[in-house]
Copies of this chain bind each other. A is one copy, B any other.
């Protein structure tokens, strides 16, 4: 499992229901660290060097932020301008960039409908287009981009949708990239077992998963086919 560092840049973190929810999920995971970048002191080069040294210890960095005018909030960008110095991104002459081969994930929250960000949608541009500057940064640092993890309209989610978000977000943080379905099931089983203390029903679910791996694999194939059909019909971006 990758060691993951979540860098959260939110101008009003304590009042964000979405971020509070995500933080609760993140704390259930081992090998996952949560940073609120807006409260970090970054006034001296020693403080900056310490943060850079910390970041090098992780395999996966996550930039997590609400979309403000189609990009990351200014407070996060300012942290990035300050802490991600030129030698930290490109490496010193003759050395590999410090973040080379690490993964960069983006968890982007917004209040518009999920299908707003696409050609012909309300916001015209896709998140992939709007995140180009961060993609360019990842390329400069020789990092590998993970697919964007969008979270639309958290406030309107049903309990069931939040449960789904909980699991997929936890997987985004801790599953190896390009994990196969069987890896996901194994991960989910382990996660259920770990959290069965607080949620007794999880133990039964984990046992059910164990006995139904084959059926689940079949089910997965069917669902995957349906998803692909739907994509071709253009209902999902």
Q: Which residues of A contact B (CB under 8 A)?
A: 11, 68-82, 84, 89, 123-125, 129-130, 132-137, 139-140
Contacts and interface: CB of A to CB of B under 8 A. Distances in A.
Contacts of A70: 132-134, 136-137
A76 B124 CA distance: 24
A68 B140 CA distance: 13
Counting from the closest, the 3 A-B pairs by CB-CB distance are: A74-B78, A74-B77, A70-B133
7 contacts: A68-B81, A73-B77, A74-B82, A123-B140, A125-B132, A125-B135, A130-B132
Nearest to A79: B74
Contacts of A81: 11, 68-69, 73-75
A74 B70 CA distance: 14
Contacts of A80: 69, 74
Q: Which label, helix, strand, loop or mixed, suits the secondary structure of the A interface?
A: helix
A82 B69 CA distance: 11
Contact of A77 (B71, B124, B125, B129): B71
Nearest to A137: B69
Nearest to A82: B74
A19 to B, nearest CB: 17
A71 to B, nearest CB: 4
Contact of A132 (B77, B78, B79, B132): B132
Contacts of A137: 69-70
Nearest to A76: B74
